[in-house]
Amino acid sequence: MVIERRWKKWVFFYIPLTVFVLGTLFPFYWMFVTAIRPDAELYRSWRAVNNAPFWTLQPTLEHFRDLMAKTMFPQWLWNTFFIAVISTAISLACGLLAGYALARLKFPMAGALGTSIFVTYLVPPTLLFIPLADIVRDFQLGNTPWALILTYPTFLIPFSTWLLMGYFKTIPKELEECARIDGATRFGAMTRIIFPIAVPGILSAGIFAFTLSWNEFIYALIFLSSPERKTVPVGVVSELIRGDIYFWGQLMAGALLGSIPVALVYSFFVEYYVTGLTGSVKG
Amino acid sequence: MAQVMMKDLNKKYDEVHAVKDVNLHIRDKEFIVLVGPSGCGKSTTLRMVAGLEEITAGEITIGDRVVNDLPPKDRDIAMVFQNYALYPHMTVYDNMAFGLKMRKFPKTEIAKRVGEAAEILGIQELLKRKPRQLSGGQRQRVAVGRAIVRHPQVFLFDEPLSNLDAKLRVQMRVELKRLHDRLETTAIYVTHDQVEAMTLGDRVVVMKDGWIQQVGEPLELYGRPANRFVAGFIGSPSMNFVEMTIAETNGALWADTPGIRVKVPPASAARLGPYKGQRLTLGIRPEDLRVATGSDPADYSFDTVVDVVEPLGSEILLDVKAGSNVMVARVDPTVRAKLHDKMRLSLHPERVHFFDLKTELAI
């Protein structure tokens, strides 16, 4: 065993790690402090006596109350949840089948197809929304949740297809060959053997897809117009910023509440998530 | 229980012709081993029998059914893979029961069969474990157990012992042989290990570059190899080959090369007639060379210099040089030999093999 000098560990490990963790967590802390700070503290001058930008001595839940009662935040939360869940489900179903086919089946142009699916993922949403807006209008989906449920898969499917394809490739193909000899059809081998083994990969694809659609902003901003149809990211920004007036307390309360579901999802599945990305099956 | 017939079997990938015109009749209850170096087409042949690879041309019959277009599950076969291919998310019991469940066997029958197989293989205590909690040897047993519970018509083994350590491999080899004697199910076994092939096979099929080189019982392959490849592939250390010229002196044929001059044994003389004045390959196995004594006929002896001595305990392998020819001789452990010693060796006249230089076929 190599005995390293202690200062090396501090300089190259603990100190950078501490800086990184503080840097990552600070915005969340700021969000939290702002959300529980009374308006009187929020809008006073920085040079005021007793100003304490990093903490507050009079925490209040007033902003949360206002957010729930005076805005349509609960409705936004529900909209976001509904859209995220359905578009994730659609994308996972497509990604599972496509990923499996690309990883396992031999067919002409399989490689080219895989690459082109990936390339579609690289088209920035800021460009793609223009033609999509046209399609959404033609199908009269504007201002309905379906405008988002059907457009989110444009980036979710390529993403989950690639993630799952990579995961399927780590599973030895003998497993399903054996299942097929044992009496399963190809489809049976896929659903009974491969999918159960791929649960970590499927979960990480699901978490990713859910997070991406939960946080999505541009499409939601463009395709939804009436306040009661909006999602959390768009609703908070468009209804709580009136011209140049920022309702900071409610904004931050909304942001905080909006990030809780995602944080919960991650913390529940973090172990699967890691194995899903590193991909490991031990027979 | 069934015979397996392969008729003009061919497999072509885009550019590779992996299996070429394979014709093979595997008899009912026979244990047949396909052996050859990697890339010789043995695994591809097996996978075509299993239905995992499509057949480019030709026909495979299992029992009396042509199975070319049957999916693997309808061929009534069971396969054991090199990496065991146990389902990691199922217990040992469920692994073994999977094939029966898929075929909708009643629960009591499944329990009975799994129990029987577990007993045969001595894995009753492991039934509730997951594959990752098993050692390599135990996993191999489970994989075999999963195959035998099905009572299939044919067992297919794809290098099943290659992932085991040397000691365990020998032990499992014996168990497989015992298992086959007990179950009497037709078995096709693929390996690159010629010792496995020789010890397990009722008959052995040697393959190279997609062609069958020779089919025969183990000792037949060893004693009468059909060509130079088979001669060199079967046996360890492998047969010595020396390129020689055939010439006639005083009415007898002699094989000659700088450093070695031996008489062609009378048994081969007639067949070698047409090669008079030509070159060919002489093959002699290490154990058919011995240290010459005074009573050995001078016609079959030649002088060598010891190059390497490898004492193995029960025998000694001598790497010797005769002229520029390098040979290995397997001699008695009592022989005292040192590096650079001069040593006169004598070959066993009835066990000399001759091969055509071009076609490499045995003469």
Q: Does A193 touch chain B (CB under 8 A)?
A: yes
Whether the CB-CB separation of A255 and A73 falls below 8 Å is answered with no
Angstroms from A202 CA to nearest CA on chain B: 15
Return the domain boundaries, chain A.
Answer: 6-60, 65-282
Q: Which residues of B21-57 are buried (b: 16+ CB within 10 A; e: fewer)?
A: ebebebeebbbbbbbbeeebbbbbbbbbbbbbbebee
Q: Does A183 touch chain B (CB under 8 A)?
A: yes
Distances (CA, A) of B122 to B80, B114, B125, B133: 18, 12, 8, 16
Separation of alpha carbons B35 and B189, rounded Å: 8
As to burial, measured by CB atoms within 10 angstroms (0-12 exposed, 13-18 middle, 19+ buried), residue B262 is: buried
Look up the pTM and report it.
0.82
Whether the CB-CB separation of B239 and B233 falls below 8 Å is answered with no
- Residues of B whose CB is below 8 A from A172: 83, 85
- B79/A177 Cβ within 8 A: yes
Angstroms from B348 CA to nearest CA on chain A: 48
Q: Which of A172, A196, A282 sits opposite B85 (nearest CB)?
A: A172
As to burial, measured by CB atoms within 10 angstroms (0-12 exposed, 13-18 middle, 19+ buried), residue B71 is: middle
Superfamily for A65-282? Answer: MetI-like (1.10.3720.10)
Closest chain B residue to A199, measured at CA:
B89
| pLDDT digits (tens), chain A, 283 positions | 566 678 888 888 999 999 999 999 999 999 999 999 888 888 887 777 777 788 888 888 899 998 898 889 999 999 999 999 999 999 999 999 999 999 988 888 888 988 898 888 888 888 889 999 999 999 999 899 999 999 999 999 998 999 999 899 989 989 999 999 998 999 999 999 999 999 888 988 998 899 999 999 999 999 999 999 999 999 998 888 888 888 889 999 999 999 888 888 888 887 777 776 665 544 3
**pLDDT value for B251:** 78
Strand partners, B241: B283
**pLDDT value for B21:** 92
- Residues of B whose CB is below 8 A from A282: 88, 132
pLDDT tens digits for B223-257? 999 999 999 999 888 999 999 999 888 778 888 88
Strand partners, B66: B61
Mutation target vs A (from B12, B56, B81; most A CBs, 10 A cutoff): B81
Closest chain A residue to B158, measured at CA:
A174
Q: Name the CA dihedral angle for A64, A67, A68, A73, rounded to a multiple of 10 degrees.
A: -130
Angstroms from B222 CA to nearest CA on chain A: 34
